[in-house]
Amino acid sequence: MSRGRLRIALILVTLCLAGCAEQKNTDGARQAEEQEGPLTPVAVPAASDRPEAETDEAAEPAAVRITQVRADQLRFDPERGETATVHFRIDVPAEVTLVIYDGRDRRVREVEGGRLEAGEHSLAWDGQDGRGRQVPAEAYVYTLEAIADSGAPVIHDLTDLTGGEALEVADVEWDPEAGLVRYRTDKPARVNIRLGLQNGGPYLRTLIDWVPRAAGKQAESWDGQDASGVLSLSRHPRLSVGVMAYGLPDNTLLVGAAPDRVSFADLPEEASRPRQTPKGPKRMYHHADQPLETRGDVSASLTLDGITRRDAQGRWIVSGSVPVRLNVADEDRELVLTRRFEPVFFVDGIYAFENEVGFLPMTWHWDTSSVNEGEHFVTVNVRGYDGNFGTATLKVWVDRPGAGSAPAGQEQTRE
């Protein structure tokens, strides 16, 4: 074989070997991709970008950890000299502050713990605000704020992570002899009690309005009257007692005796608690979602336009078409109109009329020819779309013209 032919043969062998190697590499890469997925490029720092050595000093400092947090008691009474003590543990030395907020998330008090070493500690609150004033009997929440020597501030706050769930209220009963509404909740809660009539009848009174209560058996006093004081419901055969409750956060402290209404201290609005979770979408009739200061029921009123006669028992004497005028208290007006409502009217506890769109004031013209002559009760329910309700009742005497006017033997008066 000539040297030229030998050289050509060697070139062909070399090309063949190179092609086989390339095909082998391609098949191997494809097989690896099928087994492990697509290959991802990895950025490797240049030699000049790599640290010469990785040491503890160069590592990011760890934030302080706050654990084993608990209060020694749920309720305490400052008037008896009692305090609330919050126990906790930190894993590194840190500056720790106990912060108290009210139901509006406004800051009530800061209790400075100063620099504390790693380990178990406690801070106490005496029930006073930052100005040294005793706070109202109410529910409050506490948080712990800690800052280590090096590291970001840490806040231990369960307010947005616990509570707010609707609770099942058990053992609800009305004891007319004792004048008590009894019930039981399985955990601390805010409670609302509304009284009314069954079978589609009206709501007639709010007994307590989202006030805080401890877990266990409860008893609320009631005089048996409706909100307007004209109906005695104590032994009414259709009496309905509705108790609603939602859970309080796990970091709640109850101050003083169980209150009969929601109260707030005079605190600046700008000093508010930072939320730990984003606020969710608004839910209709979900009371825990509403601001506490505007969560309660409203004060409604009924008047009879142009009606001036009353009998000795205080009953308005009416006949024909009667203009019944609805309004609410001045302090509730903006809330009711902003959140929208519908008014529903009842006569003697039976549905009579409603308007899908409420406005204030509004007048319903009641045709008294639909009822017998005698005593009757006209009730209105204000039903707010966000759960704010109101009620009022008037006691009247329906007169038939030419049939003796007022009830026999009873004095007529004019106003």
Q: pLDDT tens digit string along 237-296?
A: 999 999 999 999 999 999 999 999 999 998 887 788 988 777 667 666 677 788 898 899
Q: What is the pLDDT of residue 87?
A: 98
The pLDDT of residue 413: 44
Distance separating alpha carbons of residues 407 and 399, to the nearest angstrom: 8
The C-alpha angle 372, 375, 380, rounded to 5 degrees, equals 95
- Going by C-alpha positions, the residue among 245, 238, 246 that lies closest to residue 174 is 238
Structure token digits, residue 202: 């009206």
pLDDT at 59: 53
Q: What is the pLDDT of residue 402?
A: 65
Residue 370 has a pLDDT of: 92
Residue 24, CA atoms < 13 Å, CB-side half-sphere? 6
The pair of three-digit structure tokens given for residue 141, joined into one six-digit string = 């929440």
pLDDT per residue as tens digits for the range 173-187: 999 999 999 999 999
Backbone dihedral angles phi then psi of residue 132, each to the nearest 5 degrees? 80, 15
Q: What's CA 347's distance to the chain center, in Å? A: 34
**Which residues does 248 contact at the CB level (< 8 Å), separation at least 6?**
139, 163, 187, 188, 189, 190, 212
Q: Reduced to 3 DSSP states, what percent helix, strand and coil does the chain have, rounded to the nearest 5?
A: 15, 40, 45
pLDDT at 45: 33
DSSP one-letter code for 376: E
Question: Phi-psi category of 314—alpha, beta or left, where left has phi over 0 and alpha has psi -120 to 50?
Answer: left
In which residue ranges of the chain is pLDDT below 70?
1-62, 279-280, 282-285, 402-415
Neighbours of 124 (CB within 10 A): 12
The single-letter code of the amino acid at 232 is S
- Exposed / middle / buried, residue 42 (Cβ in 10 Å: 0-12, 13-18, 19+): exposed
Q: Residue 137 is encoded by which pair of tokens?
A: 């009997």
The two tokens of residue 191 are: 């409670």
Residue 294 three-state SS: helix
Sign of torsion over alpha carbons 276, 278, 283, 289: positive
Which two structure tokens, joined as six digits, stand for 378? Answer: 């006209």
Q: Which two tokens stand for residue 267?
A: 């605190």
Residue 79, phi then psi, degrees to nearest 5: -65, -20
Q: If we measure between CA atoms, which residue out of 332, 361, 326 comes closest to residue 346?
A: 326
